[in-house]
Amino acid sequence: MDNLQALSYITTVTGGLLLWLLEGVVPFFAGRKSRGKHAAANLSIAAINLLILLPSGVVMALVLEQSKAVWSGVKALELPFLFETAFIILLIDLWMYLWHRLNHQINFLWRFHSIHHSDPALDVTTAWRFHYVEIVFSELLRFPVFILIGASIQDLLLYSMLMTPVIEFHHSNVSIPSSADRLLRTVIPSPSMHRVHHSVIRSEHDSNYGSLLSLWDRLFGSFRLKEDIKNMAIGLNNESSPEKQRLAALLVRPFHN
């Protein structure tokens, strides 16, 4: 494990823990109960996904290292190091936007992505709640995309280190001043943006797909805001009841539709 990988893990864990604690002190949606039980269910799903992500990361590192001999992607432009890294980060984030949007627009992919959206108590742990089949598809498609870009494993680790705190933050139930949210969403998807993305209303949750940058939503017309978010219903109609939020039910639900 190199220093960048270790730092990525540290920011993920400490950022998530800090935000979860802050949600208990300054929550946006007040009156949440059984926060520990809710977190345990979502983190159990995340633990299953780690069984896929950890070996996939090792294989990704090997594949990207070997692919450099036949295809260099962006690196063929011979840009200065900082410009090259920034360009690669932008392209990775663009792919993340497109992949997220596809998960909403293709019904087969939505079967699995809807598990993420069915959470009726949006908080920082929702950032890690994805069905394992979605993770498999995501990892498989990342290989050709990142080879095409010419990204190195260091580029991916840097992107993860930047992106992970942002997705934890915009999923979180932490209340921040509206002026701060307004300023933040000029660069990153802010909490108010992403709460709209988790609305039960289809036209609203089909918006604000960005992971690290809000640029793509503005550029591709999927940027959306909403007034009075505090009274907005979160989750999916007919899929967010307590019996459908049990771990076993979430894992098998996509296969029953």
pLDDT in tens, 139-155: 999 999 999 999 999 99
Q: What is the rounded CA–CA span in Å between residue 136 and residue 56?
A: 9
Q: What is the rounded CA–CA span in Å between residue 163 and residue 188?
A: 10
* 175 and 122 Cβ atoms separated by less than 8 Å: no
- Cα–Cα separations (whole angstroms), residue 241 to 27, 38, 53, 246: 22, 13, 29, 9
The model carries a pTM of 0.95
- Quick check: 1 pLDDT over 70? no
Q: What is the rounded CA–CA span in Å between residue 248 and residue 58?
A: 29
Q: For tokens 């260091």, what's the residue?
A: 154
Q: Read off the pLDDT of residues 194-203 as tens digits, 9 standing for 90 and up.
A: 999 999 999 9
Instruction: Give the dihedral sign, CA 70/95/14/189.
Output: positive
